[in-house]
Amino acid sequence: MPNFSRRVVLMQMGAAGLAALAPGSALAQNRYAELDGQPWSFIDADEARFLASMADVLIPEDDAPSASQAGVVDFIDLQLAGPYGQGAGLFLEGPFEDGAPQQGWQTAHTPASLIRNGIARLESGETHLVDLDAQEREEFVTRLSEGDGFDLGDVPVQTLFDEIWALVKEGYFSDPIYGGNKDYAGWRMVGFPGAHAYYTDHVDKNAPFRAPPRGIAHQPGTGRPADTTRVLSERNTRAIQEEG
Amino acid sequence: MVTELPKKDVVIVGAGWTGLAAAKELADAGQSCVVIERGDWRHDASNFGAPEEHDELKYARRKEHMIDTPIKTLSFRNNSDQTALPMRRLGSFLPGKGLGGAGIHWNGQLWRPLPSDLEMRSHYTERYGESILDGMNIQDWGMTYDELEPHLDFFDRVCGTSGVAGNLNGETQEGGNPFEGPRSADYPNPPMKASPPLQMFRDTAEQMGYNPFQMPSANVTQAYENAYGAQLHPCTYCGFCERFGCGYYAKADPIICIYDVVKDHENFELRMNSQVLRVEKSADGKIATGVTYIDENGREVFQPADTVCLNAYALWNVHLMLVSGLGTPYDPATGEGTVGRNYAYQTIAAASVFFDENVWSNPFMGAGALGMTIDDFNGDNFDHTDLGFVGGGYISANQTNGRPINYQPTPPDTPSWGAEWKQAVRESYLHHVGIVCHGSSVAVPGNYLDLDPTYKDAYGQPLLRMTFDFPENDRKMSAYVLSKAEEIARNMDHVRAVGTTNRAAEGESYSVVPYQTTHNTGGAVIGSDPATSVVNRYGQMWDHHNVFVFGACLFPQNLGYNPTGPLMGLAYWTLDHMKNDYLQNPRPLMDA
C-alpha cells in the first residue's frame, strides 16, 4: 500500500485534533514521519485516532511534546501486536469471575482484545472521541478514569483505562527502540540520561548532571537514537515519489 | 512411561542462591549433586550487559526475568470467606526463573536478623508478658544469633558486602547500626557513596537523636575476591539493579559468586528447563526417594537420590510439599498441621520527599542497596509498652532507581494525569527521594497457604492458594513507623512537600496488584516443636529426615529486614549440619 500514511490518518483528527489542543507547534513536532508509510501492525485508523485523542489528553503538549507527538500511538500499535498484547504475561485459564480489585486482572481478554473491544464499544455511537473539542475530550477521559456511566459488556472499564494509561506512559518513557519516546522526548522532559550509565564520580555530588540522553541504540555523535525503521521508511518514501 | 535415571547422592530443586550454595558445599563434601531448574541457562557476562540490559520496558515492565504466570502462578484471596482467583499477572511480588533465580534481580540489601528476632516469642514474653502476643503465631526460630553468626558472616564474604559495622565482637562502632548483633568480623568492603538526599537524611536523623548508617549492600564498592575465589567489581551506580541482572559483576548474585566456582566440579550437574512435579516417597512414606520432573524434551523422568533439597522460591517450596504429600497440611479450622501455616509478607509504607531546586537527587544514579537507614524503630529496638503492637521496621532513604516509566513522583494532590501531572513530574523528577518503612509481618492463624480447589497450572497441578491480609498488629506498627519517617522527612532542609503511602493503612486490604516486595515468607517454618514447624532447627523435615528445606519459607514470621541475608545464614547453617553430621549417619537430627 504505497499511499498509506499514518500522518494522514492522524491528521484526520479535524479542527479539534492535535493542533487544536495546543496551538502552534503540533504539526512541526509530529514525528509520525519516521514510521509513516508503514501500515499499522495491529490497530486500524479509527483505533489510531481514538488512541491519539485519548493519549493527548493524558499527556498533552506543552513545552514538551504530547504523547502522540512522541510516538505513543506507534508504540501502542507495536505492543498490541507483540507478545504483551497477545497475552504472554497473563494466566488466562478459566473459570473467570469478576473478583475484588485486590485480585487484579480477571478478564479473559488479552490486552489487545481488551483495548480493541473497549474502543469498539466506546466508539459505537455517532460521535467519536476525535470529533469532540478539547474540553469535551478531557471530560470523556475523566469519566472513563472514574469508570463513570459506561457499560462495556465484558470489558471492565477501570481495567481498560488503567491499561491504556500504562501504555501511554510506557510509550512516552521507554527506550526509543520500541517506537515511542521519539528523539528522547520523555527522557529530555524529566532529565533522564538513558541506558549508558556510569555515575560513580557524580553520585555524591549535589549538582545537575547535564549529559544528553542516550538510548540502547543511540547513534554516537548525532544526539539521536538510531531509528530502526528509518531505512524502511525512506525506501517507502522513494517508492511513493517514484510512483507519483 | 517414566524414565528412571541413575541415582545421585543429592537432588536439588532450584538453581538460585540456596540451591547453588547447597550444590557447592555438598559437591565439595563428596556428594554427587544434580540441580534441577525450570528456567533457562544465562550468565552475567553473556546476558546482562549494558546497554541492552538497561531496558526498563523489557525487564521492569514486561518482567522478562520473572516467573511466567501462564506456567506458574497462584490464586489469591484476602480471607477464607472469599473465592480465591488466580494472580493472572505479576504485581505485588516477582519470583524469578532461570539460573540464579530471584538472586539475579534482587537489590542486594543484605541484612542480618536481630538476636531478639530469632527468639521472638521468648524475648517478648520475657520483656512484656505473653499476652502481648495474643492472637498471633509468633515463634522462636530454634537457633540463636550466636549459632547463626558464623554462617551470616560467611555469606557476607560470598557477597563482598559493603557497610559499616555497628557491633564488632560486642564493641559498638561509630557510624554503624548500634542495634545489630555482634559481628565476628568487619564488613568485607567499605560502604557505598551517599547521594545528596541520603546525606541530608543522615544529618537530620542524627539531629533528631537517631542512629543513621549506610545500608549494608551487596553492590560491592571495590574489586573483591569472594570466599570461593570468585571476582567481583565495583558498582557504577547505574540505577538498573532491582528487576535487572548486573553485567558489571558488581551486584553479588548466585551465578558469579557460586555457579562459576562449582560449574566444572566433578560432583556437579545442572539440568535446565526442567520442571519438578513432585517429591516421591518410599512405600512407608518415611523418606523421600527422589523427584519426578518434566525434562527439557518434555519427558517425565524420575531422578532417585539419597537426599532431597528443596531450594525453590519460598512459595514454590510450599507448593511442592503440598502436591507431594510431604508433611501435614495446615488446617485453619483446627489450627493443626504445619505445611502452609505462618505465611507472612512484608509491611511496606513510605514517605515521599519533594525538594526545592537546591537539592539534586539525580534519581537515575542509584544502586539496589544505596540507602541511609535508621534501625531505631525495628524489631524490639524501642519500647513496645502500650503501643498495641509488636515488631517494627527500618526506615531508609533509598535511591535505587530513577527509571522514568516507573518513577514519576508527584506531590500530594497532583492530578493523576493531564497537564498538571506532566508539569509536576517534570518539576519533581530530579529533586525527590523516597523514605521506605520496611516493616515486619507477624504470622496469624488466618494467613496461610494451601492448594486451590479449582485452578490448575500448565502441568495440571492445583495452584497454590494464598489467603492473606495485613494483620491488625502490622497496621498499627506500620502507621507508627511511618509517622516517624514522615517526621524525619519534614525536618529535612529544602523540602517543599511530603507525601505518604501505606499499603497496610486501616481499611485497605492487601492487593496483589501494586508491586510491594518479593519477600514472601513462611509456610514451611523452622523450629524446635513439630506441632508448629515443618522442619527442625537444622532445616530437616520432621516427617522425612532426608528432605532438607531452604529459603524464606522457613521464617516463622517475617523480619523487618530483607530476607536474603537471614535465609542464606540459615542455608549455610543447614549445610554445615548436613556435611558434618547428617551425611555420615543419615537420621532425624532431633527427636520429634
Rounded to the nearest 5°, which phi and psi values hold at A228? -70, -15
Q: Name which of A207-221, B105-119, B349-363, B554-568 the model is least confident about.
A: A207-221
A102 and B512: CB-CB below 8 Å? yes
Cα of B57 to nearest chain A Cα, Å: 6
Among the partner-chain residues B69, B240, B419, the one whose CB lies closest to the CB of A197 is B240
Q: For residues A21 and A15, what is the distance between their CA atoms, to the nearest angstrom?
A: 9
Contact between chains at A199 and B403 (C-beta distance less than 8 A) = no
Nearest residue on chain B to A65, alpha-carbon basis: B422
Q: How far is A6 from chain B (nearest CA, A)?
A: 24
Percentage of chain B exceeding pLDDT 70: 100
Decide if pLDDT at A236 tops 70: no
Q: Which residue among B88, B365, B417 sits closest to A165, beta carbon to beta carbon? A: B417
The pLDDT score that the predictor gives to residue A35 is 61
| CA-only gyration radius of chain A, Å | 19
Q: What's the average model confidence in pLDDT over B88-103? A: 97
Chain B residue with CA closest to A107: the answer is B88
Q: Which of B69, B76, B422 has its CB closest to that of A103? A: B76
B236 shares contact with chain A (CB less than 8 Å): yes
Q: How many helices (H) and strands (E) does chain B have?
A: 12, 22
User: How many other CB atoms are found less than 10 A from the CB of residue B27?
Assistant: 20
Q: What is the mean pLDDT of residues B19-47?
A: 97
Dump pLDDT digits (tens) for B261-296: 999 999 999 999 999 999 999 999 999 999 999 999
Phi and psi at A206, nearest 5°, equal: -90, 80
Q: Is A144 an interface residue toward B (CB < 8 Å)?
A: no
Min Cα–Cα distance to chain B from A76, Å: 12
The pLDDT value recorded for residue A100 is 97
Percent of chain B whose pLDDT exceeds 90: 99
Write the DSSP string, chain A.
-TT--HHHHHHTT-TTSHHHHSTTTHHHH--GGGTTTSPPSS--HHHHHHHHHHHHHHS--SSSPPTTTTTHHHHHHHHHHSTTTTTTT----S------GGG----S--HHHHHHHHHHHHT-SS--GGGS-HHHHHHHHHHHHTTTT---TTS-HHHHHHHHHHHHHHHHHS-GGGS-SGGGHHHHHHT--BS----TTTTT--S---PPPB-TTEETTTTEE--TTHHHHHHHHHHHHHH-
* DSSP assignment of B76-108: EESSTTSPPEE--S--S---B-STTGGGSS---
Residue A184's closest CA among A32, A52, A64?
Answer: A64
Please answer yes or no on whether B417 and A91 come within 8 Å at the CB atom: no
> Would you call B147 exposed, middle or buried from its count of C-beta atoms within 10 A (0-12, 13-18, 19+)?
middle
Rg (CA), chain B: 23
- Local confidence band at A36 (pLDDT 50, 70, 90 cut-offs): low
A215 reaches B (C-beta below 8 A)? yes
Tally of CB atoms within 10 A around B472: 16
- Residues in chain A with CB shorter than 8 Å from the CB of B370 are 203
What pLDDT sits at residue B456? 98
H or E segment to which residue B349 belongs: strand B347-355
List, in sequence order, every residue forming a beta bridge with B439; answer none if it has no partner. B347, B393
Cβ B448 vs Cβ B571: under 8 Å = no
Which residues 3-62 of chain A have a CB within 8 Å of chain B? Answer: 57-60, 62
Per-residue model confidence as pLDDT tens digits over A133-167 = 999 999 999 999 998 789 999 999 999 999 999 99
Nearest-CB residue to A104 (from B55, B88, B360): B88
CA atoms within 13 A on the CB side of B591: 0
Distance, in angstroms, between B413 CA and closest chain A CA?
A: 16
What pairing do the DSSP bridges indicate for beta strands B462-467 and B74-77?
A: parallel
Residues composing chain B: 592
Is A50:A168 a contact under the CB 8 Å cutoff? no
Q: Give the per-residue pLDDT at A227.
A: 57
Is any Cβ of chain A less than 8 angstroms from the Cβ of B384? no
Measuring CA to CA, how many Å separate A48 from each of A11, A75, A169? Answer: 11, 11, 17
Chain A residues within an 8 Å CB radius of B366 = 203
Question: Is B433 touching A (CB cutoff 8 A)?
Answer: no
> Mutate which of B52, B241, B365 to test chain A, going by most A C-beta atoms within 10 A?
B365
Backbone φ and ψ of A196, nearest 5°: -90, 100
Flag whether residue A221 sits within 8 Å of chain B, measured between CB atoms.
no
Nearest residue of chain B to residue A97 (CA atoms): B85
d(CA A70, CA A184) in angstroms, rounded, equals: 8
Write down the residue that cell numbers 537420621 correspond to: B587
Contact assessment for residue B157 and residue B188, using Cβ atoms and an 8 Å cutoff: yes
Count Cβ–Cβ pairs < 8 Å, chain A vs chain B: 185
How far does A131 lie from chain B, in Å, by closest CA? 19
How far is residue A4's CA from residue B514's CA, in Å, rounded to a whole number? 41
Is the CB of residue B116 less than 8 Å from the CB of residue B380? yes
**Which pLDDT score is estimated for B580?**
98
Amino acid at B106: W
Instruction: Read off the pLDDT of each residue in B35-40 and give the average, rounded to a whole number.
Output: 97
Q: Which A positions 175-194 lie with beta carbon below 8 A of chain B?
A: 175, 177-178, 186-187, 189-194
| CA gap B380, B124 in Å, rounded | 8
Average pLDDT over residues A93-115: 97
The three grid cell numbers given for residue B303, joined into one nine-digit string = 531422578
Q: Which amino acid is at B146?
A: D
The answer to whether the complex's ipTM is over 0.90 is: yes
Decide if B50 and A197 are in contact by the 8 Å CB cutoff.
yes
Cα–Cα distances (Å) from B6 to B263, B301, B304, in that order, read 20, 11, 7
CB A171 within 8 A of CB A130: no
- Confidence bin at A226 (pLDDT 50/70/90): low
User: Chain B: nearest CA to A128, how far in angstroms?
Assistant: 20
pLDDT over 90 at A101, yes or no = yes
Cell of A72: 505513543
Per-residue pLDDT tens digits for B176-199: 999 999 999 999 999 999 999 999
Per the CB < 8 Å rule, is B82 touching A173? Answer: no
* pLDDT of A14 over the 50 cut: no
Cell 540463636: give the residue. Answer: B144
**Consecutive H or E run containing B348:** strand B347-355
Q: Identify each DSSP E strand in B169-261 by its residue range.
A: 171-172, 213-214, 224-225, 231-232
Cβ atoms B215, B235 nearer than 8 A: no
Residues of A in contact with B403 (CB under 8 A): 192
Average pLDDT over residues B398-415: 97
Structure confidence by residue, pLDDT tens digits, B494-540:
999 999 999 999 999 999 999 999 999 999 999 999 999 999 999 99
Cβ contact (<8 Å) for A216 and B364?
no
**Residues B217-241, mean pLDDT to the nearest whole number:** 98
Task: Tell me what the pLDDT averaged over chain B comes to.
Answer: 98
Q: Which of B53, B54, B56, B57 to mutate against chain A (most A CBs within 10 Å)? A: B57
- β-pairing verdict for A224-225 and A218-219: antiparallel
Any CB–CB contact under 8 A between A209 and chain B? Answer: yes
- Reference B448, options B343, B534, B519; nearest CA is B343
Question: Is the model's pLDDT at A15 over the cut of 50?
Answer: no
Q: With an 8 Å Cβ cutoff, is B501 touching chain A?
A: no
The dihedrals phi and psi of B512, each to the nearest 5 degrees, come to -85, 5
pLDDT of residue A38: 80
Q: Which of B384, B519, B545, B577 is catalytic?
A: B519
Q: At B517, give phi and psi (nearest 5°).
A: -175, 150
Which positions 55-114 of A are in contact with B (Cβ < 8 Å)? 57-60, 62, 64, 83-84, 87-93, 95, 97, 99-106
For all residues of chain A together, what is the average pLDDT? 84
Active site residue B545: no
Could you tell me if A170 lies within 8 Å of chain B, comparing CB atoms?
yes
Distance (Å) from the alpha carbon of A217 to chain B's nearest alpha carbon: 8
CA distance A191 to B430: 7
* B353 in Cβ contact with B489 (< 8 Å): yes
Q: What is the Cα–Cα distance from B332 to B113, expressed in whole angstroms?
A: 28
Distance of alpha carbon A77 from alpha carbon A75, whole angstroms: 5
Residues A74, A32 contacting (CB under 8 angstroms): yes
